[in-house]
């Protein structure tokens, strides 16, 4: 078997990339699982990018218009008239993208695990048999614990966290996400409540499983009304290089993930577009440069994450006082961008009053963000 491009991993990013490439190249995608989906992932994707990337409408489970933020003792809400994000079903998203890629000519090898390279060929385990597949170019889209990244000898400097999420029965406002920032309950990350509809939601956090149990109690969600439990890792940081010889990494395998929220689907897909561009130009080494926007967002997110980790709950309460003010909410409602957190922070810090108040709370936070 020989292809122009072999993509390892049929997650959302691998399938999206297969779509981009399948018309002009012979493409194969290998996936170790026997079916699509199943990864621990809330499935929130910014609405603007969802449309721009032309992702399948069929995968949308709910439209989200706003968010309510809770600290230990305060809360405030922001909202807009049009949906800001969609909650998607990962299985449908991946299947629909794979179907599109197949229709354009991509071959899929399911239940097939990439093991490494031998003599310039990919060694694959397929239903107990070993196959060797030759391609001109190989792409690791095989997630955060990427085998491709290990095999090509990338270096990783990152913080890895375990995510825990349940789908639970309760009573929810289906238009709004809840974001809970309370270090006494979930010390490593915020906790989220993302409604699927009025009676079910995906509820999770990163860090320790006990933190999720504590949060479920705080939120008065019953542990005996859980419909599904999932756990999975996320990595915030850098894994480099993103391209080495005729092998590139994309999506979680390259840690193209927002350290502020752990969202990785959009950044992975935006980088997939940049990889396509570099490949079409015959200059794969340009891929890193073309991803400068995503890299800037990741750098900002890492700074923000370091600062968040260092703040105690009292400082968070004071930040909430500022962000919950009428002026800050107006800025967030009119200028915040679901995927461009750098722009959102800049818009807030442009307001002299807000800047002055935030400097009082944490001078180091503002210095780092500026
Ligand atoms: C709890 C949690 C909640 C999250 N919520 C969100 C969210 O709301 N929104 C968002 O944007 N992101 C979210 N993320 C992050 C998101 O899940 C990832 O960024 C996204 O899945 C990345 O897609 P990917 O295609 O790069 O990798 P993956 O989705 O991990 O896909 C990789 C694929 O490669 C396959 N594979 C792995 N190794 C091999 C191998 N050796 N051979 C063959 N196949 C292989 C895997 O089976 C898998 O199908 C969340 C993550 C966690 C843990």
Asked if 154 and 285 sit in the same domain, the reply is yes
Is the Cβ atom of 46 under 6 angstroms away from ligand 1? no
Q: Encode pLDDT of 326-335 as tens digits.
A: 999 998 888 8
- Whether 153 is covered by a domain: the verdict is yes
For the four alpha carbons of 120, 122, 128 and 129, in that order, the dihedral sign comes to negative
CA distance 255 to 156: 9
Q: Encode pLDDT of 14-53 as tens digits.
A: 999 999 999 999 999 999 999 999 999 999 999 999 999 9
Q: Compute the average pLDDT of residues 93-114.
A: 98
Q: What is the pLDDT of residue 155?
A: 98
Confidence class of residue 6 from pLDDT cuts 50, 70 and 90?
very high
Is the Cβ atom of 143 under 6 angstroms away from ligand 1? yes
Q: Compute the average pLDDT of residues 304-319.
A: 91
Specify which residues 79 forms β-bridges with: 66
For residue 72, what are the contacts with CB-CB under 8 A and spacing of at least 6?
A: 182, 184, 313, 316, 317
Asked if 124 and 27 sit in the same domain, the reply is yes
Question: Residue 281: how many CB atoms within 10 A of its CB?
Answer: 11
User: Parallel, antiparallel, or unpaired for β 60-64 and 85-88?
Assistant: antiparallel
Asked if 144 and 175 sit in the same domain, the reply is no
Asked if 218 and 138 sit in the same domain, the reply is no
The 10 Å CB-count burial string (b at 16+, else e) for 95-133 is: bbbbebbbeeebbbbbebbbeebeeebbbbeeeeeebeb
Q: 92 alpha carbon to ligand 1 midpoint, in Å?
A: 14
Count of structural domains, the chain: 3
Q: What is the pLDDT of residue 49?
A: 97
**Does residue 138 have a pLDDT over 80?**
yes
Q: Encode pLDDT of 321-359 as tens digits.
A: 999 999 999 988 888 888 888 888 888 888 888 888 888
CA distance 332 to 83: 15
Is the Cβ atom of 83 under 6 angstroms away from ligand 1? no
Residue 139: closest CA among 252, 302, 238: 252
CA distance 192 to 340: 19
CA distance 337 to 323: 16
CA distance 2 to 24: 15
Q: Compute the average pLDDT of residues 113-130.
A: 96
Q: Encode pLDDT of 143-192 as tens digits.
A: 999 999 999 999 999 999 999 999 999 999 999 999 999 999 999 999 99
Domain that holds residue 194: 162-233
For residue 244, what are the contacts with CB-CB under 8 A and spacing of at least 6?
A: 152, 153, 154
Query: Within 13 Å of residue 309, how many CA atoms lie on the same side as its CB?
Result: 14
Asked if 40 and 91 sit in the same domain, the reply is yes
Asked if 14 and 153 sit in the same domain, the reply is yes
Atom 4 in ligand 1: which residue has the minimum CA distance? 41
Q: Compute the average pLDDT of residues 295-301.
A: 95
Is the Cβ atom of 42 under 6 angstroms away from ligand 1? yes
Tell me the percentage of the chain whose pLDDT exceeds 70: 99
User: For residue 207, with 0-12 CB atoms within 10 Å meaning exposed, 13-18 middle and 19 or more buried, which class applies?
Assistant: middle
- Whether 22 is covered by a domain: the verdict is yes
Q: What is the pLDDT of residue 113?
A: 98
CA distance 319 to 56: 38
Atom 19 in ligand 1: which residue has the minimum CA distance? 264
Q: What is the pLDDT of residue 346?
A: 86
- Whether 75 is covered by a domain: the verdict is no
DSSP 8-state secondary structure symbol assigned to residue 144: T
- Whether 79 is covered by a domain: the verdict is no
Q: What is the pLDDT of residue 364?
A: 74
- Whether 215 is covered by a domain: the verdict is yes
Question: Residue 46: how many CB atoms within 10 A of its CB?
Answer: 21
Is the Cβ atom of 10 under 6 angstroms away from ligand 1? yes
Residue 122: closest CA among 108, 105, 139: 139
Asked if 330 and 347 sit in the same domain, the reply is yes
Asked if 170 and 239 sit in the same domain, the reply is no
Confidence class of residue 307 from pLDDT cuts 50, 70 and 90?
confident
Q: Encode pLDDT of 188-220 as tens digits.
A: 999 999 999 999 999 999 999 999 999 999 999
CA distance 286 to 166: 40
Q: Compute the average pLDDT of residues 283-311.
A: 94
Is the Cβ atom of 8 under 6 angstroms away from ligand 1? yes
Atom 16 in ligand 1: which residue has the minimum CA distance? 264
- Whether 76 is covered by a domain: the verdict is no
Q: What is the pLDDT of residue 28?
A: 98
- Whether 74 is covered by a domain: the verdict is no
CA distance 25 to 6: 10
Atom 37 in ligand 1: which residue has the minimum CA distance? 142
């Amino acid at each position: 078997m020989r292809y122009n491009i072999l993509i390892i991993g049929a997650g959302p990013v691998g399938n999206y990339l297969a779509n981009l490439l399948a018309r002009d190249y012979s493409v194969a995608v290998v996936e170790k699982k026997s079916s699509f989906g199943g990864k621990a992932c809330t499935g929130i994707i910014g609405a603007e990018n969802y449309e721009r990337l032309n992702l399948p409408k069929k995968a949308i489970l709910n439209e989200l218009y706003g968010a309510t933020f809770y600290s230990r003792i305060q809360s405030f809400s922001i909202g807009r008239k049009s949906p800001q994000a969609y909650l998607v079903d990962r299985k449908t998203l991946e299947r629909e993208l794979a179907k599109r890629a197949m229709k354009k000519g991509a071959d899929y090898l399911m239940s097939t695990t990439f093991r490494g390279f031998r003599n310039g060929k990919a060694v694959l385990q397929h239903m107990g048999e070993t196959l060797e597949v030759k391609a001109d170019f190989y792409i690791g889209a095989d997630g955060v614990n990427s085998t491709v990244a290990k095999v090509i000898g990338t270096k990783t400097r990152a913080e890895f966290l375990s995510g825990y999420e349940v789908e639970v029965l309760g009573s929810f406002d289906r238009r709004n996400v809840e974001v809970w920032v309370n270090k006494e309950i979930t010390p490593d990350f915020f906790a989220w409540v993302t409604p699927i509809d009025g009676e079910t939601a995906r509820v999770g956090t990163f860090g320790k499983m006990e933190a999720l149990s504590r949060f479920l109690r705080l939120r008065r969600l019953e542990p005996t009304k859980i419909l599904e439990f999932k756990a999975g890792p996320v990595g915030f940081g850098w894994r480099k290089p993103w391209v080495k010889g005729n092998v590139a990494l994309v999506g979680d395998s390259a840690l193209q993930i927002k350290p502020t929220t752990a969202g990785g689907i959009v950044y992975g897909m935006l980088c997939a577009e940049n990889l396509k561009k570099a490949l079409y130009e015959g200059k794969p080494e340009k891929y890193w440069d073309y991803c400068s926007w995503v890299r800037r967002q990741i750098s900002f997110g890492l700074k923000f994450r370091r600062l968040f980790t260092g703040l105690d709950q009292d400082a968070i309460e004071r930040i909430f006082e500022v962000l919950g003010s009428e002026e800050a909410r107006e800025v967030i409602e009119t200028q915040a961008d679901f995927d461009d957190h750098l722009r959102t922070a800049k818009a807030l810090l442009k307001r002299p009053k807000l800047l002055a108040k935030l400097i009082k709370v944490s001078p180091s936070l503002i210095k780092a963000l500026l």
